[in-house]
Structure 1
Amino acid sequence: MSDIAVYLVLSAAVFAGAFVSGLSGFAFSAVAGAILLHVFPPMEAVPLMMACSITVQAANLFALRKSMQWKTSLVFIAGGLLGIPIAIYLLQNVDTGIFRLGFGILVSLYAAYALLRPTAAYLRQMDSRGSNALVGFGGGLVGGLTAMPGALPAIWCDFHGLPKTQQRGLVQPYIGVMQLFALALMLSHHSLSLKVLIDFGISLPALAAGTAVGIVLFGRINEAAFKRIILGLLLFSGLCLVI
């Protein structure tokens, strides 16, 4: 591919991932990775997606700062911080392909069921710290193995029927901390190449534009549309793991 073609593909992938993440709060890597992993080698694509995703998360946290629920999210974060180191150890010592495949199937089946169910029956209020910490731990473990730390918390919020602002306020801080922690662990063993830094700089205009459009649209869609978007992204992310 020519340099111009690579730039256009990079910008399109980053814009799409940033738009989806700005709108829903997660799934940057699932959307952008569906394109970038076919253009760049994994050693370049993965750290580039992590850097871009963290940038989008920072923008989301700032733009929606008034609705962030840090106190409630800390329980999930504490569990997730315990799960990520275990996931990294497993990545380095065990073949995790079967786990990713199985998790992708489960997420896809749940999302398909939730999209098709005639009426939603929700659980009681999210008041069990033990259950919330366990979900956070599972999200950290799964996130380290699949780059989808927000999948389990998003499903947990769907179980409880949380409105869109409350869900973003709970899940957004969790995803941001998980990604920062995972990137810090990765950088403790490897360094970002100059090529990754250059690609990140090139992608910044598309990253900013996609994030801004996504955040603006989030404020304008209703609860039902937001729920369908979340479930659709969970379905897409799960299928990406399977395929």
Structure 2
Amino acid sequence: MPPDLLWMLLLGAASGGLINGLAGFGTALFALGFWLQVMPPVQAVSIVVVMSVASGLQGVWLVRHAISTQRRRLARFLLPALPGIPVGLAALSVVSAPTLKITIAVFMLLYGGFFSARSALPRLERPTPVVDGTVGFLGGVLGGAASLSGALPTMWCAMRPWPKSEVRAVLQPFNVAVLGVTMMLLALGGAYDRSTLGLIALALPVTMISAQVGIAIFKRLGDDQFRRLIIAMMFVSGAVLLLRELT
């Protein structure tokens, strides 16, 4: 294996795992920045989906009690997302993936920049089941179209005054489920050949260890600190996504 491929593989695995463990999303946004430089897009996406699901399962276990007490809330997001995945795949025949990613990146930058600059964060306290379902469906569409399933749910959950464990109890299983379906579709399409499986075997331990480091940091954050973190992460993720698409 060429040294540059090995180093990029391990750096992407470490950064993606750390961010997923810390915030509950963002594996693809950070890992692909390294992997797309040294491997074909289909192979890079195939690997990052596996890393996202593997590291995400650790986060699901972390907030398992919050998930069990908020099953209906999670269902409002997740159930509409599942039919959104094939809609997103079909949308690629109408709107190109790069165009969609640039649009979402600009929106993430505006959202993250606006709320990061505010001294007081929004607090939408009343129940909004219709909006929750709509955000979930659109998250599924974006997951199928551009592997960005977590963008809209993260923005929406950051505006709710939920404890950090409840926010993560929506985001983490939502992303794991949507990306798990994507992984199965890629497997059915023959994406996981011997070469790709070998790279997964090297990247997976690094991702899992890095996710544990991110989880350890997450445990030290207060609820407001976590909300500000994911809003700031929206800005950083939007910048990373935009730079990657434009270059």
TM-score, length-scaled by structure 1: 0.92
Unaligned runs of 5+ in 2: none
86-95 vs 199-208, which moves further: 86-95
Q: Distance in 2 between matches of 1:85 and 1:44?
A: 20
Q: Distance in 1 between matches of 2:76 and 2:117?
A: 31
Once the two structures are superposed, the pairs formed by residues 13-52 of structure 1 within 5 Å of their partners are: 13-52=12-51
Other structure's SS at 1:82 match: helix
> Are the counterparts in 1 of residues 51 and 207 from structure 2 also a CA contact under 8 Å?
yes
Other structure's SS at 2:89 match: helix
> Are the counterparts in 1 of residues 18 and 214 from structure 2 also a CA contact under 8 Å?
yes
Name 1:120's counterpart in structure 2.
121
61-70 vs 155-164, which moves further: 61-70
Amino acid paired to 1:200? I
Q: Distance in 2 between matches of 1:221 and 1:159?
A: 17
> Are the counterparts in 1 of residues 19 and 25 from structure 2 also a CA contact under 8 Å?
yes
Q: Distance in 2 between matches of 1:130 and 1:139?
A: 14
Q: Distance in 2 between matches of 1:98 and 1:10?
A: 26
Q: Distance in 2 between matches of 1:47 and 1:57?
A: 16
Q: How many residue pairs get matched?
A: 241
30-39 vs 58-67, which moves further: 58-67
The Cα of 1:178 is off from its aligned counterpart by 0.7
Q: Distance in 2 between matches of 1:155 and 1:98?
A: 20
Name 2:233's counterpart in structure 1.
233
Q: Distance in 1 between matches of 2:36 and 2:85?
A: 23
> Are the counterparts in 1 of residues 100 and 146 from structure 2 also a CA contact under 8 Å?
no
Q: Distance in 1 between matches of 2:150 and 2:45?
A: 17
Amino acid paired to 1:123? L
The Cα of 1:173 is off from its aligned counterpart by 1.3
Name 1:208's counterpart in structure 2.
208
Q: Distance in 1 between matches of 2:3 and 2:191?
A: 27
1:135 aligns to 2:135 (yes or no): yes
> Are the counterparts in 1 of residues 123 and 161 from structure 2 also a CA contact under 8 Å?
yes
The Cα of 1:96 is off from its aligned counterpart by 3.6
The 1:195/1:58 distance shift into structure 2, 3 A limit, reads: same
Q: Distance in 2 between matches of 1:11 and 1:97?
A: 26
Name 1:89's counterpart in structure 2.
90
Amino acid paired to 1:157? C
The Cα of 1:56 is off from its aligned counterpart by 0.6
Name 1:196's counterpart in structure 2.
196
Name 1:66's counterpart in structure 2.
65
TM-score, length-scaled by structure 2: 0.91
Q: Distance in 2 between matches of 1:181 and 1:33?
A: 19
Amino acid paired to 2:92? L
The Cα of 1:114 is off from its aligned counterpart by 0.7
Q: Distance in 2 between matches of 1:242 and 1:204?
A: 27
Q: Distance in 1 between matches of 2:33 and 2:71?
A: 31
Name 1:185's counterpart in structure 2.
185
Name 2:6's counterpart in structure 1.
7
The Cα of 1:94 is off from its aligned counterpart by 4.1
> Are the counterparts in 1 of residues 97 and 146 from structure 2 also a CA contact under 8 Å?
no
Q: Distance in 1 between matches of 2:122 and 2:71?
A: 27
94-103 vs 25-34, which moves further: 94-103
Amino acid paired to 2:104? F
The Cα of 1:164 is off from its aligned counterpart by 1.1
> Are the counterparts in 1 of residues 101 and 241 from structure 2 also a CA contact under 8 Å?
yes
Q: Distance in 2 between matches of 1:238 and 1:42?
A: 19
88-97 vs 106-115, which moves further: 88-97
171-180 vs 67-76, which moves further: 67-76
The Cα of 1:21 is off from its aligned counterpart by 0.2
Name 2:174's counterpart in structure 1.
174
Q: Distance in 1 between matches of 2:158 and 2:63?
A: 20
> Are the counterparts in 2 of residues 70 and 170 from structure 1 also a CA contact under 8 Å?
no
